[in-house]
Amino acid sequence: MASTSTWQAIAARKQKQRQSRIPTEWMLASPPPPTVTNVLNVPRTCGILTTKELEITEQHDAVSLSSYIRSKKYTAEEVTVAFCKRAAVAQQVCNCLTEIFFNDAIARAKILDQEFLRTGAAVGPLHGIPISLKDTFKVKGFDTSIGIASLAENAAQENALLVDILLEAGAVIYCKTGIPQTLMALDSDNNLFGRVLNPRNRLVTAGGSSGGEGALVAMRGSILGIGTDVGGSIRIPAMCNGLYGIKPSAQRVPYVGQEGGTRPGAAKIALPSSAGPIAASLRDCELLLRVVADAQPWEKDPAVAYGSWEEQGSIKETKRPLLGVIRTDNLIGPLPPVSKMIDETTERLRDAGLEVVEVDAPAFKRCQSLANALFGVDGGNFMFDLLEKTGEPLIKWLSTRIRRKEQMSLDTLRDLHAKKVDLETEMLKIWKDPQTGRTIDAIICPVAPHPVPPLDRWNGASYTSSFVLLDYPAGVLPVRDVTETDLTEELIEGNPLGSWDRANKELWNPKTIDRKLYLDTMLSIQVIAPRLQERRLYQAMEIIDEVIRGKTSLEKAKL
């Protein structure tokens, strides 16, 4: 149907369909006007959720919910209904959902409850846990349109492998979430469903390309979301929405059964995406990665590397953890609040008894240009073909940034991969402390060179895409809110490092931006580990997070 309709007609039908899947009794009587920028409190005050449903959605993470379901304090149905309701409210204030299948989810939860009652045993480690998915994941019976009109109205015939793994583990899948057109923008806006809004501050970006997941989890409309990342698309929404997010190495979580708007096999010659968790709890990220590893996905997806969770690296108890810090990529200098937050975090880690060494990474600045080159292997032609089937235009932000190009030649592609190997080899040096020769367990650095910016003003992804190029697992931890004091910090005088740096400075220039916009946003740090060392990454994030939250010192940080 989609190929014979205009994109406007398809968009109208899809939005009408989405609206029809929200029960009338879950509709807000009076949605907050656009002048209300922080909408986090709406689910609590709208009267749609019961007291128990508010408790379920606000006082738990996935780990504790699992315990409550197994101890029969909650049923899977109660939990699923609560999150479906809250997701419905989130959609009405943040426009974060694409596909809605609440009825199917509630029916599955009832079956899980019946099975639990009959056998006395949980179906799996995620028994009764509702999980939301980025729109890229195929779910049988529902569209995987990725915000492109020509891909709409064409229901998937089977599930993505990761969806089947989650279902076999007992999870309840209940909705999919918004993304940007082409998946290559850092603000989640498309012609089919519209723009995702950030519930902490609807004037700033929710991030992309997993922006819908970020907004939904921030609204507590999801306890655990799954996004994908090829340039920062898990980590950027995690930062924008004050959440935890982990981008694994590309061979760690199965990716088959995704719709990415590219030709099959394209990722093998460009940069492969990773799938991973976005959550309000760090241990929920670990839960998801452990469940996937325990499912032995390498038996069903040849691209997945072998390795149980216990085999995915570790920071040994027998030695003192050594952390590194990279303060800048020397391509885009961090703005004052970001630099200040990195300084504060480093100081707190040292005060807690951890060793933190400065890391010199001169090759870091070369990663972004190489990553950008590998993003453009097919010249964008496949995506432009999809758009032109219905006459769909590029969204405004992309309209001046991408265009059709010639497909890259084999010689050019080969040369780029040769440069990638050289860069990967040179960057291995960052994992050794030159003073002592010790191995650095994990490295902290900015997620971005700026705080969460206004809509459509994210400036560069060099701090995130570089670790896709290198295939390092990387995670994001929320640190603290931007404060009034932060807004008084001024830039150090000096010439811009380049055009990206010049644009970045404009995000702190009082002549071009009202800094008060940043007050309802959170500052976050990025943590990285060597390739395929996801457990090592998680352990480092756990230590750092406990120090940030004031819960531990080195003596208590036993792994």
Q: DSSP readout, 36-73?
A: ----TTHHHHSS-S-HHHHHHHHS--HHHHHHHHHTTS
Judged against a pLDDT cut of 80, whether residue 552 lies above it is answered with: no
What is the pLDDT, as a whole number, of residue 340? Answer: 98
* Token couple for 471: 């295939």
1, part of any domain: no
- Tell me: do 405 and 295 sit in the same domain: no
Residue 81 marked as a ligand binder? no
Whether 517 has a pLDDT exceeding 90, the answer reads yes
Contact criterion met (CB below 8 Å) for 90 and 119: no
pLDDT in tens, 284-343: 999 999 999 999 999 999 999 999 999 999 986 657 899 999 999 999 999 999 999 999
Max Cα separation, the chain? 70
Q: Cite the active site residues.
A: 134, 209, 233
pLDDT, tens digit, 9 for 90 and up, residues 436-452: 999 999 999 999 999 99
Does 176 share its domain with 126? Answer: yes
Are 351 and 394 found together in one domain?
A: yes
Q: How far is CA 337 from CA 54, 284, 362, 413, 488, in A?
A: 34, 28, 23, 39, 9
Q: What percent of the chain has pLDDT over 70?
A: 97
Mean pLDDT of 510-518: 96
Whether the predicted pLDDT of 557 surpasses 70: no
Residue 473 in domain:
yes
Same domain, 216 and 253: yes
356 located within any domain: yes
**pLDDT at res. 318:** 52
Question: For 217-275, how does the pLDDT look when each residue is reduced to its tens digit (9 = 90+)?
Answer: 999 999 999 999 999 999 999 999 999 999 999 999 999 999 999 888 887 889 999 99
Structural domain range at position 233: 10-311
Query: Are 292 and 330 in a shared domain?
Result: no
Distance, CA of 309 to CA of 291 (rounded, Å): 9
- Report if residue 3 sits inside a domain: no
Q: Do 329 and 295 have their domain in common?
A: no
Last residue of a domain, one of 273, 291, 311: 311
In CATH, what number is assigned to the domain containing residue 484? 3.90.1300.10
230 is known to lie in a ligand binding site: yes
What pTM does this model have? 0.97
Last residue of a domain, one of 289, 311, 333: 311
Dihedral pair phi/psi, residue 521, rounded to 5°: -125, 165
Token readout for 252 is 């760690």
Whether 229 and 344 share a structural domain:
no
- The number of residues making up the chain comes to 559
Angle made by CA atoms 169, 175, 177, in degrees to the nearest 5: 115
Give the end of a domain, one of 311, 341, 362: 311
What band does 169 get if pLDDT is binned at 50, 70 and 90?
very high
- 455-484 average pLDDT score: 97
Q: pLDDT class for 71, splitting at 50, 70, 90?
A: very high
Q: How many domains does the chain have?
A: 2
Question: How large is the average pLDDT for residues 177-198?
Answer: 97
Residue 316 lies inside a defined structural domain of this protein: no
* Residue 119 belongs to a domain: yes
232 is in an annotated binding site: yes
Task: State the pLDDT at residue 556.
Answer: 45
Is residue 237 located within the same domain as residue 106? yes
**Residue 233 in marked binding region:** yes
In angstroms, the CA 280 to CA 490 distance is 32
Reduced to 3 DSSP states, what percent helix, strand and coil does the chain have, rounded to the nearest 5? 40, 10, 45
Tokens of 549: 């939250």
The pLDDT of residue 4: 65
Please work out, in degrees rounded to the nearest 5, the angle formed at the alpha carbon of residue 416 by the alpha carbons of 414 and 422.
105
Q: Does residue 172 fall inside a structural domain?
A: yes
354 and 277 inside one domain: no
513/518 Cα distance (integer angstroms): 10
CB–CB of 235/447 below 8 Å? yes
- Do 283 and 343 lie in one domain? The reply is no
479 is in an annotated binding site: no
Dihedral angle computed from the Cα positions of residues 462, 467, 469 and 470, in that order, rounded to the nearest 10 degrees: 140
Same domain membership, residue 332 and residue 378: yes
Which pLDDT band, with edges at 50, 70 and 90, does 493 fall under? confident
> pLDDT at residue 554 above 50?
no
| Of residues 268, 171, 165, 266, the one with CA closest to residue 224 | 171
> Does 348 share its domain with 212?
no
The answer to the question of residue 5 being in a domain is: no
* pLDDT tens track for 22-68: 999 999 999 999 999 999 999 999 999 999 999 999 999 999 999 99
Query: What DSSP assignment string belongs to 136-195?
Result: TB--TTS---TT-GGGSS---SS--HHHHHHHHTT-EEEEEE---GGG--SS-EETTTEE
If you average pLDDT over every residue of the chain, what do you get? 95
